[in-house]
């Protein structure tokens, strides 16, 4: 399954040049939820390089993002006033673009058994690492199409997410205690999603069950292709395809990452962290 099954993390590195001007680099690791085109360069069927993917991207063309438009790293960069990161496999990732950072996400990577060891990245230079939990696994249209009779979420998968996410926070808190500072930030993307899955109309969505692009029950079967059903207004949908949020849903998620309470981002949100770092 693409999307929702793996955690992903954003790494922020603060650097000081010879003239003491501070700059930041942004690195992205994860799966199709944050892939911005790496799979375009790989021999894989997990690709988003054909229409209608990218229909609402500025170029209105597919970019390799599993979205109708921008994904979460794009929006974080936009809100922070940074240049967007390039796929690490892009031939354009050289020269001054290297100083911006890079996106290492690849659709279909999943959660590795050694994920905990990956968090030792701190020793290599990163000063802030934002880590997300799993999303609402049982509520994506792909699961509803296969296991739901009346639009209810698949409880077994929801239970798995409810068990995993608190353990992730516990592990990150332990790592922060070891370093003696809040390096790792836990983003509760499961709760962020559940807010508008449970009450979509409150957030301006028409539906949180049916995908904008797809086929079959809830448009949840197969992939989004030029032959799929396609909604006319993506902003009314939580899900773009059977697995991935629309750009509008991604924007709501980023808003909570930037400004949310400890219910959504622990121990503090990204805006607070960046403000703290700027005064250091």
Determine which one of 35, 74, 182, 241 is catalytic: 241
Which is catalytic among the residues 6, 31, 32, 90?
32
Give the residue among 251, 143, 270 at the shortest CA–CA distance from 203: 251
Six token digits for residue 27: 């690195």
* Three-class secondary structure of residue 253 per DSSP: helix
Nearest to 270 by CA among 9, 33, 88: 9
In terms of DSSP H, where are the helices of the chain?
72-80, 115-118, 141-147, 155-179, 189-198, 247-259, 270-279
Q: Catalytic residue at 182? A: no
The yes-or-no answer on residue 162 being catalytic is no
Residue whose structure tokens are 């000063």: 127
Point out the catalytic residue in the list 31, 67, 148, 244: 244
Q: Which two three-digit tokens encode residue 203?
A: 């957030």
The answer to whether residue 74 is catalytic is: no
* Pairwise CA distance, residues 225 & 184, whole Å: 38
**Is residue 195 reached through a cis peptide bond, with omega within 30 degrees of 0 on the bond before it?**
no
Provide the CA 13 distance to its chain's centre, in angstroms: 19
What is the C-alpha separation between 223 and 126, in angstroms, rounded?
Answer: 36
Pairing of strands 22-29, 9-16: antiparallel
Cite the active site residues.
32, 241, 244
């Amino acid at each position: 399954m693409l999307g929702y099954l793996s955690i992903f993390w954003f790494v922020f590195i603060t650097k000081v040049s010879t003239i003491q001007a501070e700059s930041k680099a942004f690195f992205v690791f994860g799966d199709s939820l944050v892939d911005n085109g790496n799979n375009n360069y790989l021999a894989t069927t997990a690709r988003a390089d054909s229409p209608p993917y990218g229909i609402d991207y500025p170029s209105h063309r597919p970019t390799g993002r599993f979205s109708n438009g921008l994904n979460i790293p794009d929006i974080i960069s936009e809100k922070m006033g940074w240049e967007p990161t390039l796929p690490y496999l892009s031939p354009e990732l050289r020269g001054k673009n290297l100083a911006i950072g890079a996106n290492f996400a690849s659709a279909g990577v999943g959660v590795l058994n050694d994920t905990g060891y990956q968090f030792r990245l701190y020793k290599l230079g990163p000063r802030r690492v934002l880590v997300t939990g799993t999303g609402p696994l049982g509520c994506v249209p792909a699961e509803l199409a296969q296991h739901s009779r009346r639009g209810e979420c698949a409880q077994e998968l929801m239970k798995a997410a409810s068990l995993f996410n608190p353990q992730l926070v516990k592990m990150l808190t332990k790592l922060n205690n070891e370093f003696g500072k809040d390096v790792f930030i836990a983003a509760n993307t499961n709760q962020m999603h559940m807010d508008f899955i449970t009450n979509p109309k409150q957030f301006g969505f028409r539906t949180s069950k049916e995908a904008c692009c797809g086929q079959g029950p809830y448009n949840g079967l197969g992939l989004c292709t030029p032959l799929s059903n396609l909604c006319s207004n993506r902003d009314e949908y939580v899900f773009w395809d059977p697995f991935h949020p629309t750009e509008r849903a991604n924007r709501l998620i980023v808003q909570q990452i930037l400004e949310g309470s400890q219910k959504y981002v622990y121990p503090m949100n990204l805006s607070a962290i960046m403000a703290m770092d700027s005064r250091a």
